[in-house]
Amino acid sequence: MRVREILDFFESCPACGYAAQAVAVERDLPDGRTDVEVRVGCALPCGWQDEPRGPHASGGAGPR
């Protein structure tokens, strides 16, 4: 499993207005594909997390 920050994510936290951050969690599957889950959350500890909206919303299993 690998976790990488998505550097071109420019949304704000809807709970507190601070900058949000996004990460991609990549998992290698036994059949050779890679599953990618994108998660967004507040960069401050307000606790907000959600599914992404917009261009980073896609993920799912695909070829490596």
DSSP 29: -
> Rounded CA gap, 28 and 14, in Å?
32
Which pLDDT does position 22 carry in this prediction?
Answer: 93
Angle at 55 between CA 30 and CA 48, to 5 degrees: 85
CA distance 38 to 40: 7
Question: Distance between CA atoms of 16 and 36, rounded to whole angstroms?
Answer: 27
User: Locate tokens 């949000």: which residue?
Assistant: 20
**pLDDT tens profile 6-50:** 999 889 999 999 999 999 999 999 999 999 999 999 988 798 998
